[in-house]
Chains A and B, each alone.
Chain A
Amino acid sequence: MPRLAVREDLCIGCHLCEIWCTLQHSESKTLVRCFNQGTERPLPRVRVEERKPVTFPVQCRQCPEPACVLSCPSGAMRRDADGVIRVDTSRCRGCWTCVLVCPFGAVAKGPGFAVKCDLCPFRGIPACVEHCPNQAISLEVDGR
């Protein structure tokens, strides 16, 4: 199963992963629209936690026994065939059970539906991995 691996010792707390994640999940994929004009700014699926000197990004761990999937009352949260846990936004009722049970706080309350890391299905390498300037985030497949 694919998942992101995070190296706490390499994270420099620059928050670029959050910015690239927001961009990647926007319609326009335009920095100026997302940030300067703020007309379109999806929630980032990654959050950099900080308590200096400790910083590291937190995003979905693709848990082996995912509390969010097991607890979802609508069936919207599910593990896809590629092993990645995603939200079917058309079925999500915004009840936030997943937010309540995710031990990592990796599910956010979006506009009426849950928002979480989808491992960027339409690009080979997730945006946060590609753009982390210090290689603190990497994509692991089956533990490698």
Chain B
Amino acid sequence: MRYDSVIVGNSAAGVGAIEAMAGTGGNASTCLVAEENNPPYSRPFIGHLVSGEMCLEGIWYRPRSFYEENDVEFLGGRKAVAIHIESSEVELDDGGRVGFRSLLLATGGSPILPAIPGLAQCSHTFATLADALDIKARLDRDEVSSAVVLGGGLIGTAAASALVRRGVHVTMVELAPRILSSVLDERASAIIQKDLDERQIRVVTGHTIARVEGSRERPKATLDSGGVIDSELLVVAIGVRPRVELAPGSGIQVDRGIVVNDEMMTNVPGIFAAGDCAQMRDFMHTDNRVLAIWPAAYVGGMIAGCNMAGCRASTRWFTSMNSMNIFGRSVLSAGIVNPGDGDGWSELRSETDGSYQKIVTQDGVIKGFVLLGGDGKAGLYLQMMRNGTPVKRLNSELLSDSFGLAYLPRRERQRMWKEAGKVVGP
């Protein structure tokens, strides 16, 4: 079969593309190839499924009828194994082929499994709905009273939070000297670690697992310090790496992810990539980055979808940004959270009981922030980062409770009213 558009991948980027194409009012034919044979789901919330805070019906990101309603041919449970550029076809695992005029690679990421002896055989990953349902089933059968979570980042924290809510004794093992080190500064990490301590999550930093023996049901993890932890569940939650395996050999450029421009197009005309598999412009940096975050996946897919439907669109909206709700504490961060080397960097901090806020600036422009608790100024700071709004004169007021648009010079404020409601275009 030949389609106008083929999408590989069944999550935020794919949905973004489909909704963008539908919005253009065209009647192009679209086919979506998905390994997971289910409606698109809210991957960031698989922990809520494990903890019981959410039932299965709550996890669908779009209704079950989503593909049908959008006239998308859904090939669920099928894997794309190769791209043939000369014939504009995607080859599937059953030998079948689907042809395309334009193609979106929205293949996401795959969980990183470090080469630790015994780890793969004795652990669960925490990246898919299937992983979550496996772990949930074991909890429901009362098989798990203690668990080890390898990885103290976003996914590890979500996994540990879910397990402790189910009454499991959790030990979190993180190789870095502190948890959430990629998205938080030292102080914020310490505050969150204390939150985890209070929930009886034991956090071991500066160490990793050297080897694992036993089975998936009785993993026995030996740390590099020599300590041994027996448990009933070992969750590997180190992070994901872009799934780029379709690209090599096809001529599509790959660096850390599939390299795309501001239109989300690869070096091969008509072939796009978005989401966790893609390496895209990060407006805070000069080089392209992999931004494995939900908002970038949806918006990237949306931009790709516009272009696939023949409407030109581009974006410079992305940077690293993360939002978490850890046991009721809101944790928002974006951009550069620790001042860089060299001149011109400074940081503003404010800490009160229960809240910690920090803004990083360089040469009088906001470059990043970490906000624990407090109210909602995050999006305004983020937009000021995008606009390069000068904040030198505001320094002392940036973190005050009353800070807001009223503090911006009239012209800057008017620019915000006019432009901030858009994500498309430079």
- Chain A positions near chain B (C-beta within 8 angstroms): 47, 49-51, 54-56, 58, 61, 63-67, 70-71, 73-75, 91, 93-97, 99-109
Given A71-B294, A105-B377, A109-B376: A95 and B325 interface contact (C-beta under 8 Å): yes
- CB pair A100–B334 under 8 Å, yes or no, is yes
Among the listed B298, B323, B324, B404, which residue makes an inter-chain contact with A70, where contact means beta carbons less than 8 Å apart? B298
Known: A50-B406, A67-B379. 18 other contacts (CB 8 A): A51-B402, A54-B406, A65-B422, A70-B295, A73-B12, A73-B42, A73-B43, A94-B325, A96-B323, A97-B295, A100-B322, A100-B379, A100-B382, A103-B380, A103-B382, A104-B405, A107-B376, A108-B375
A47, A63, A96, most chain B CB atoms within 10 A:
A96
Q: B156 at interface (Cβ–Cβ under 8 A)? A: no
> In the complex, what distance in Å separates the CA atom of A75 from the CA atom of B54?
14
Report the Cα distance A97→B294, complex, angstroms: 9
Contact mask B355-388 → A, CB, 8 Å, 1/0? 0000000000000000000011111101100000
The CA of A99 and the CA of B48, in the complex, are separated in Å by 20
Q: Select one of B45, B302, B383, B422 contacting A74, CB under 8 A.
A: B45
The answer on a CB contact under 8 Å between A100 and B378 is yes
Which residues 173-215 of B sit at the A interface, judged by CB distance below 8 A?
Answer: none
List the interface of chain B (C-beta within 8 A of A): 12, 16, 42-45, 48, 54, 58, 60-62, 294-295, 298-299, 302, 317, 321-325, 330, 332, 334, 375-380, 382-383, 402, 404-407, 416-417, 420-424
Do residues A105 and B376 form an inter-chain contact, with CB atoms below 8 A?
Answer: yes
Q: What are the residues of chain A within 8 A of B407 when measuring CB–CB? A: 51
The answer on a CB contact under 8 Å between A105 and B379 is yes
Question: How near does chain B come to A34, taking the closest CB pair, in angstroms?
Answer: 19
Decide if A75 touches B295 in the complex (CB within 8 Å).
Answer: no
Report the separation of the CA atoms of residues A107 and B330 in the bound assembly, to the nearest whole angstrom: 14
On chain A, the residues within 8 Å of B422 by CB distance are 63-65
Report if A64-B421 is in contact (Cβ < 8 Å); known contacts: A93-B48, A100-B334, A104-B380. Answer: yes
From A49, A54, A102, give the contact of B379 (CB < 8 A).
A102
Q: How far is the CA of A104 from the CA of B323 in the complex (A)?
A: 17
Nearest CB of A to B400, in Å: 10
| Residues of the B chain whose Cβ atoms lie less than 8 Å from the Cβ of A106 | 376
CB pair B421 A65 closer than 8 Å? yes
* Cross-chain contact of B332 among A58, A63, A93, A99 (Cβ < 8 A): A99
Q: Note all chain B residues with C-beta closer than 8 A to A64.
A: 421-422
A104 and B379 contact, CB distance less than 8 A: yes
Q: For the complex formed, measure the closest distance between the CB of B282 and the CB atoms of chain A, giving whole angstroms.
A: 15
> Chain A residue with minimal CB distance to B45?
A93
Which A residues are CB-close (under 8 A) to B379?
Answer: 67, 99-105, 107
Check if A95 sits within 8 Å of B44, measured CB to CB: yes
Q: Let me know if B61 and A75 touch, CB within 8 A.
A: yes
Chain B: minimal CB distance from A59 (Å): 12
The closest CB in chain B to the CB of A107 belongs to B376
Query: CA A127 – CA B378 in complex, angstroms?
Result: 27
What's the minimum C-beta distance from A96 to chain B, rounded to whole angstroms?
5
When distances are taken between beta carbons in the complex, the residues of chain A under 8 Å from B406 are: 49-51, 54-56
**Could you tell me if A70 and B299 are in contact, using CB atoms closer than 8 angstroms?**
yes
Question: Which residues of chain A are within 8 angstroms of B375 by Cβ–Cβ distance?
Answer: 105, 108-109
Whether A100 contacts B321 in the complex (CB less than 8 A), given A67-B379, A108-B375, comes out as yes
Please state if B54 and A93 are interface contacts (CB–CB under 8 Å). Answer: yes
Bound-state CA distance A66–B54 (Å) is 26
Does A95 lie within 8 Å of B324, measured CB to CB? yes
Distance in angstroms between the alpha carbons of A106 and B45 in the assembled complex:
24
Instruction: Collect the chain B residues with CB atoms within 8 Å of residue A101's CB.
Output: 295, 321, 379, 382
